[in-house]
Structure 1
Amino acid sequence: MTAPAWQADPYTDALRSGRGPLFLRRPDGWLLPLEVERWCAAPDAADLTVLERCRGTVLDIGCGPGRLVAALAALGRPTLGIDVSPEAVARTVRTGGSALHRSVFDPLPREGSWGTALLIDGNIGIGGDPRALLARVTQLVADDGVLLAETSPLDVDERVQVRVFDGGSAQGSAFPWARVGTPALLDYARSAGWATDEADQWMVAGRTFVALRRA
């Protein structure tokens, strides 16, 4: 059974149940586990280090089920999530956040004025072209805006076609994705208009992050 990427079974089923298993699957059979249970839970210690670095209005790109959007809203921080999955948007709204069913490459509210943009949970992979994604985010944030991105803990720079897969018989359609470690992210960011010389880098519980500012 094949369904549209991120928009129907098995991804929708996983978000509705709040649990996996769920994977991104390459054509060669390699599987990248997706941490559905963590995404559907409250922010963990690593997430909190991201939240404390947010400033101004926040745009969560690929917000998923909305744990970060809801947490920021509870703190009184003006925040909007965007996601291509209708179920992700619906779950974000149910948990108290604001979200729109949009791609980051669609026209978005307040372009050029967001204080912080988030690319967490591997979302630097959106579209399979990190340089194009980072260039798009420069159009979204203010001149003094910040990008908080989660990178792969491995030194990797990979562009692949993947499918969302439940480990059994259900999978979505193929779509482009990227995995990017911190060194590769900094290279792409530099060419896309982000300052990297004093980039804030940190690791918590095996997860790695970078904070970038406009050049």
Structure 2
Amino acid sequence: MTQPEAFFEPGFAEGRAQLHTAEGDVWELPLPRWAADAGPGDQRLLSRCRGTTLDVGCGPGRMTAALSGRGVRALGVDVSPSAVAMARSRGAVALNRDVFSLDRGAQRWRHVLLVDGNVGIGGDPVRLLWLCRRLLVPGGTVLVDLAPPGHGLRVTTARLVGAGAPGAWFAWAVLGLDALAVVAAAAGLRVAETWLVEDENRWQAELVHADSWPAPVAGAAA
């Protein structure tokens, strides 16, 4: 499976795109919100970033740029060169990198952001959250956007569809609020707080280190 490296430039030029899963589900992607400056629905996440922050799957960089504007040291990473170029054009510091290549930076970040469904990157939220936990300094947190309650954990393949030809299939997952505690625990994290941004119907959570750090549970995301 590939990741959607070449999506952002044509997707944002068209102004619309959908995520289609192998099961036939269709998710409308809020491209105008992603391309705009950080909005009201982002503020509770941003307000909790009080130190070095890694923005995973930063896209056009609205969160990374907002943090930099607040004087917070922030780095965005994304597999799409077009997305990274867009992030840099708005003043964000961003790297064209796969998050799973960052393990050498263990215990460097005060916060890791997984917004806009990016907890689904790679199709295995347990593996991704385990990596995020390794990247945190002691006492650090993971801040995440989630699907609404009732979605559970759904592992799938998906592709991006806009006005042009559909993109390649890639591994993806959808994590609902109702499955968060189990998935977080399997990654050595626990849920500190959850909340709803009603205007945008966005469920969000803050995760912290669990008391013990067991090895990832084999097949937990299957």
Q: Which residue pairs with 1:117 in the alignment?
A: 112
Cα pair 2:103 2:131 within 8 Å, conserved: no
Q: Is the partner of 2:156 in helix, strand or coil?
A: strand
Q: Which has the higher helix share?
A: 2
CA deviation digits over 1:2-34, x for unaligned, max 9? Answer: xx64222x532123x3x5320111234321111
Cα pair 1:5 1:172 within 8 Å, conserved: no
Cα pair 1:11 1:22 within 8 Å, conserved: no
**Is structure 2 residue 186 aligned with structure 1 residue 191?**
yes
Please give the TM-score of this superposition, normalised by the length of structure 1: 0.90
Unaligned runs of 5+ in 2: 211-222
Q: How many residue pairs are counted as aligned between the two chains?
A: 206
Cα pair 2:158 2:172 within 8 Å, conserved: yes
> Which of residues 160, 166, 178 is equivalent to 1:171?
166
- The 3 A distance-change label for structure 1 pair 122 and 43 is same
Q: Which residue pairs with 1:85 in the alignment?
A: 80
Instruction: State the Cα distance separating 1:108 from its structure 2 match.
Output: 5.8
Q: Which residue pairs with 2:10 in the alignment?
A: 13
> Which of residues 189, 193, 205 is equivalent to 1:200?
193
Equivalent positions of 1:57-68 (< 5 A) are 57-68=52-63
Higher mean alpha-carbon deviation, 177-186 vs 120-129, is at 177-186
Q: Which residue pairs with 1:160 in the alignment?
A: 156
Cα pair 2:149 2:178 within 8 Å, conserved: no
- The 3 A distance-change label for structure 1 pair 109 and 89 is farther
Please give the TM-score of this superposition, normalised by the length of structure 2: 0.88
Aligned-pair RMSD on alpha carbons?
A: 1.5
Cα pair 1:69 1:79 within 8 Å, conserved: yes
Cα pair 2:4 2:170 within 8 Å, conserved: no
Equivalent positions of 1:47-66 (< 5 A) are 47-66=42-61
CA deviation digits over 1:124-178, x for unaligned, max 9? Answer: 1001111111111111111111100010014212111111111x44111101111
